[in-house]
Amino acid sequence: MAVQQSVGPDPYFPGNGDPRYRVHRYELTLDYRPGPNRLSGTARINAIAGRAPLSEFQLNLADFRIGRVRVDGRQPHYTHRGGKLRIRPAKPLRAGAAFTVEVHWAGNPKPVSSPWGGIGWEELEDGALVASQPVGAPSWYPCNDRPADKASYLISVTTPSAYSVVAGGRLLTRTTKASTTTWVYEQSGPTSSYLVGLAIGKYHTVLLGDPGPGGVPQHGHIPAQLLSDFSRDFARQPAMMELFQELFGPYPFDEYAVVVTDEELDVPVEAQGLSLFGANHVDGARGSERLVAHELAHQWFGNSVSIADWRHIWLNEGFAKYAEWLWSERSGGRTAQQLATASHRLLSALPQDLRLADPGRKSMFDDRLYQRGGLAVHAVRCALGDIAFFRMLRGWAALHRNGVASTATFTAHAARHAREPLDDLFQAWLYDTKLPPLPTALLHGGAADSA
């Protein structure tokens, strides 16, 4: 399906991204030296102007030294301040025209500031890690930083040969010359800028299960001392992949990788085709298994089907939360109804002032959004019954594969699978702030099952 574009600036981050054009492809050539934390890069960006002539446009890029900028091979006028690289081509670009931007930059990458602290490129004790949600991508490369602008990526990274480089996508080549190695990855699936993941460190690589003919290759990249615990904590990920393909439809990308850093992370972070975990998420006792399921589910919900803008983040987190419950239910743990009951009890004791469909920037990562999002999905399941619900879910993932969607898109889609109107359900769960009653139903039956 063609990627849909949202119109206008993102209401939560109006300074990020430029809706006047869209990017088709990024080709990034990077050189990184971990010791001095030195990054130099070249970006070749293939883009298409929007419906109006483009006399100027902007990319988001943090405080690096700019060495060269070209638009279609010609030198433009540009300014770079406040995280914005404003470019005025020598000649305005006509509406709908394809154009190419080339940017050279260098410096010491660091996280960009946000309401949640520094995000993006993080220098580790021995390597680096990129976790960009929601606006950290400009911490390491120039981009049109808005979730609706999805592009393919070719990423080449040169580092000292002692280090491994892991990026989302397929490893095309690994070439060693003298003391450095160049790793080249291709991510052909349309990818939001915040979902471009990268890890540089001293990792051992293991295969998670045997994908077999037509299966999904799954790899883990882990520090040596965590290999034993990792082998237990992630042992059931291949079974999760099998279950989620049954419930959600085919895995939407070529491969899936997980990286465990040698340092602690507050929470794991999803990237396209890649999830990043901290050493604290590996305990040898499957203590974080629900998070393994959560991050894998994001490959369908958030990465393949992306949000039109950040108001709709519940579509990412609510479905990933519900995937945790589905995994628990199907793997011998607590049922979705039991987990929904616990979640509802938790929320009932907390302030009820969060509007799920538009939580505001301050609350977009509030735990209540995750919990209420999971409950909202459960309420839809209860209303539809299992057969119609999972048909609806697979249809959602298929119809919007590699595209973007909004809350209104989802509610219209779900309504088509219901025998009775869902307006009141969606009003209560998505738009009102008061917590609705706990949804209950006979999940393996129901009037809507034959819909």
Residues 386, 443 contacting (CB under 8 angstroms): yes
Kindly state whether residues 290 and 335 are assigned to the same domain: no
What is the per-residue pLDDT across 120-154, written as a single tens digit (0 to 9) for each?
A: 999 999 999 999 999 999 999 999 999 999 999 99
What tokens does 109 get? 């990458």
The domain of 231 spans 203-304
Question: Which of 165, 199, 233 corresponds to the end of one domain?
Answer: 199
Kindly state whether residues 51 and 153 are assigned to the same domain: yes
- Provide the mean pLDDT of the chain: 95
Kindly state whether residues 50 and 177 are assigned to the same domain: yes
Q: Is 298 annotated as a binding residue?
A: yes
444 has a pLDDT exceeding 50: no
Domain at 235, CATH number = 3.30.2010.30
Which residue carries 């000649």 as its tokens? 91
Residues 413, 392 contacting (CB under 8 angstroms): yes
Residue 114: phi and psi, rounded to 5, are -155, 170
| Residue 446: band (very low, low, confident or very high) from pLDDT cuts 50, 70, 90 | very low
Kindly state whether residues 436 and 405 are assigned to the same domain: yes
d(CA 119, CA 113): 7
Kindly state whether residues 229 and 292 are assigned to the same domain: yes
Looking at residue 451, its pLDDT comes to 34
Residue percentage of the chain with pLDDT more than 90: 94
CA atoms within 13 A on the CB side of 369: 21
CA–centroid distance for 186 within its chain:
17
Kindly state whether residues 191 and 235 are assigned to the same domain: no
| Residue 212: band (very low, low, confident or very high) from pLDDT cuts 50, 70, 90 | confident
Alpha helix segments (H runs only) across 385-443: 386-399, 407-415, 423-426
Overall pTM > 0.85? yes
What is the per-residue pLDDT across 330-361, written as a single tens digit (0 to 9) for each?
A: 999 999 999 999 999 999 999 999 999 999 99
Residues 266, 277 contacting (CB under 8 angstroms): no
Kindly state whether residues 271 and 248 are assigned to the same domain: yes
CA atoms within 13 A on the CB side of 220: 28
Looking at residue 182, its pLDDT comes to 98
Q: Is 294 annotated as a binding residue?
A: yes
In SS3 terms, 281-337 reads as: HCCCCCCCHHHHHHHHHCCCECCCEEECCHHHCHHHHHHHHHHHHHHHHHCCCCCHH
Kindly state whether residues 123 and 47 are assigned to the same domain: yes
d(CA 336, CA 309): 29
Kindly state whether residues 34 and 180 are assigned to the same domain: yes
Domain at 382, CATH number = 1.10.390.10
| Total of domains in the chain | 3
Q: Is 317 annotated as a binding residue?
A: yes
Kindly state whether residues 128 and 178 are assigned to the same domain: yes
Strands 38-49 and 151-160: unpaired
Question: Which of 262, 288, 304 corresponds to the end of one domain?
Answer: 304
Kindly state whether residues 138 and 219 are assigned to the same domain: no
